[in-house]
Amino acid sequence: MKTVNSIYIVDDDPITVFGISKMLGCLVECDDITSFQNGKEALDDIHNRLTSKKGLPDVIFLDINMPILDGWGFLEEFLKLDIPKKIRINIVTSSIDPADYEKWLRYKKTTHHFIDYKNKPIFKIEAQDIEHIDLAS
């Protein structure tokens, strides 16, 4: 079983959060799986972790349609932060809007983080979805 230090699930849908958490439990050892109902909560937690020098998440499952701060807003602010660590971000969405897919491609090409795009519902999380990619070390 793979070991990961920290995973964030950023989604306002409790069924999706529950499903991802259950699937992760079968695939990975991680004592720090934290869920947030919107991007602002997750971003605030990342700011707190940066300030207190706590470890940042290795993997983020990010919904793009949420209240307060959606996934795109979260991603825009997250990518402005000075985080040398490569974080795997799995965008999970039920959107079939081609504009969302195009946004993903744009973000994917302009960051050192690894960003993947997955459609809901998610029936299985693969080992590659939680790969911690830190080529800098």
The contacts of residue 132 (CB under 8 Å, 6+ apart) are 4, 58, 59, 88
In a domain, 135, yes or no: no
CA distance 81 to 18: 29
Model pLDDT for residues 14-52, shown as the tens digit of each residue: 999 999 999 999 889 999 999 999 999 999 999 999 999
Q: What is the pLDDT of residue 129?
A: 84
Residue 19 lies in a domain: yes
Question: Is the model's pLDDT at 57 over the cut of 60?
Answer: yes
The answer as to whether 136 is a domain residue is no
Reported pTM: 0.91
In this structure, of 62-66, 97-101, 123-127, the range with the lowest mean pLDDT score is 123-127
Query: How many domains would you assign to the chain?
Result: 1
108 assigned to some structural domain: yes
Q: Which of 100, 118, 122 is nearest to 16 (CA)?
A: 122
Residue 85 lies in a domain: yes
Q: Quick check: is 86 in a domain?
A: yes
CATH number, domain with residue 65? 3.40.50.2300
Domain of residue 62 covers 2-129
Q: Which of 7, 31, 32 is nearest to 20 (CA)?
A: 7
